[in-house]
């Protein structure tokens, strides 16, 4: 993995992004994440690398047989900007360590609201899912109403701040589920795979599925190519 992966930022949704802040092992250590996993497994008998072929074979064996503790030796730290509708689901994964931007300290900006590209219809078979989209005219009409709602909420928020209302109370005027927040998050590779398995699934809500897909494609795969290959083979395709 090249040093350039640290600091890489990928755009997600209309105003969101995800950035890799750090990882363990760090690229400067010259030990790849995959090798760190293999070395952790071999510590049981004080061994280390035995060449790419044997190392990769061992890593595949570990994941295939759910020997997962060596995968906890690799960690990713991200900065993520996402709307609250995404974070509402993300925090259900308690294996992530998180620290969030606070609206008590930092005032929100007029553009800090999520605007979907299209309005999804309610699924007929799944009470918590969506399927299909509204047609173009209905879609445009709802988007216009949403933007008007954002404008009015932000106007009232700004008015309250101007009157000297505390930031922690003025934010009551903001449309809650759409507000973008920036978080710092950290997780090990084992629990990240569990997150990706659930949140890249077709029945996951779109607003978190796109973040999971971005992590998988732009960070997980290039940082841990052997692990990512085994993950697809033994975890995703096995379901």
Q: What is the pLDDT along the chain (239 residues), one digit of tens a residue?
A: 455 899 999 999 999 999 999 999 998 888 899 999 999 999 865 467 889 999 999 999 999 999 999 999 999 999 999 999 999 999 999 999 999 988 888 888 999 999 999 999 998 888 888 888 898 899 999 999 999 999 999 999 999 999 999 999 999 999 999 999 999 999 999 999 999 999 999 999 999 999 999 999 999 999 999 999 999 999 998 76
| Residue 199 among the catalytic residues | yes
The whole-number pLDDT of residue 45 equals 53
Cα–Cα separations (whole angstroms), residue 25 to 6, 47, 74, 234: 12, 18, 6, 24
Reply yes or no: is the peptide bond before residue 166 cis, omega within 30 of 0. Answer: no
pTM for the model stands at 0.93
The whole-number pLDDT of residue 105 equals 84
**Beta-strand runs (E) in the chain:** 9-12, 16-24, 75-83, 97-100, 120-122, 130-133, 180-188
The whole-number pLDDT of residue 102 equals 86
The token duo for 217 is 């494609």
Note whether 182 and 101 are within 8 A (CB).
yes
How far is 56 from 89, CA to CA, in rounded Å? 34
Partners of residue 99 on adjacent β-strands:
184
The whole-number pLDDT of residue 44 equals 60
Note whether 20 and 219 are within 8 A (CB).
yes
Note whether 171 and 157 are within 8 A (CB).
yes
DSSP 61-120: HHHHTT--GGGGG-EEEEEEEEEHHHHHHHTT-TTSEEEE--TTTSPPPTT-B---SSPE
The whole-number pLDDT of residue 47 equals 60
Rg of the chain over all Cα atoms, to the nearest angstrom: 21
165 SS3 class = coil
DSSP 201: S
Catalytic residue among 42, 104, 197, 199: 199
How far is 64 from 70, CA to CA, in rounded Å? 13
The whole-number pLDDT of residue 187 equals 98
The whole-number pLDDT of residue 208 equals 97
By the 10 Å C-beta count (0-12 exposed, 13-18 middle, 19+ buried), 148 is classed as exposed
Note whether 85 and 108 are within 8 A (CB).
no
Cα–Cα separations (whole angstroms), residue 141 to 49, 118, 234: 60, 11, 45
How far is 159 from 155, CA to CA, in rounded Å? 6
**End-to-end CA distance of the chain, in Å?**
29
């Amino acid at each position: 993995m090249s040093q350039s992966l640290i600091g890489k930022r990928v755009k997600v949704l209309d105003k969101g992004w995800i950035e890799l802040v750090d990882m363990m092992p760090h690229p400067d250590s010259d030990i790849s994440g995959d090798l760190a996993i293999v070395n952790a497994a071999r510590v049981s008998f004080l061994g280390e690398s035995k060449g790419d072929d044997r190392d990769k074979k061992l890593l595949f064996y570990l994941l295939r047989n759910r020997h997962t503790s060596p995968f906890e030796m690799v960690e990713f730290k991200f900065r993520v900007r996402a709307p609250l509708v995404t974070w509402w689901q993300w925090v259900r994964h308690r294996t992530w360590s998180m620290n969030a931007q606070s609206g008590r300290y930092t005032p929100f900006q007029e553009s800090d609201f999520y605007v979907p590209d299209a309005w999804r219809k309610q699924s007929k078979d799944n009470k918590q899912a969506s399927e299909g989209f509204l047609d173009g005219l209905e879609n445009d009409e709802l988007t216009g109403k949403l933007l008007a709602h954002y404008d009015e909420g932000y106007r009232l928020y700004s008015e309250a701040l101007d009157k000297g209302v505390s930031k922690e109370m003025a934010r009551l005027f903001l449309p809650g589920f759409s507000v973008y927040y920036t978080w710092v998050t950290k997780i090990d590779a084992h629990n990240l795979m569990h997150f990706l398995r659930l949140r890249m699934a077709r029945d996951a809500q779109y607003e978190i599925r796109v973040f999971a897909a971005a992590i998988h494609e732009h960070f997980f795969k290039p940082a841990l190519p052997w692990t990512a290959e085994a993950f697809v083979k033994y975890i995703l395709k096995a379901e």
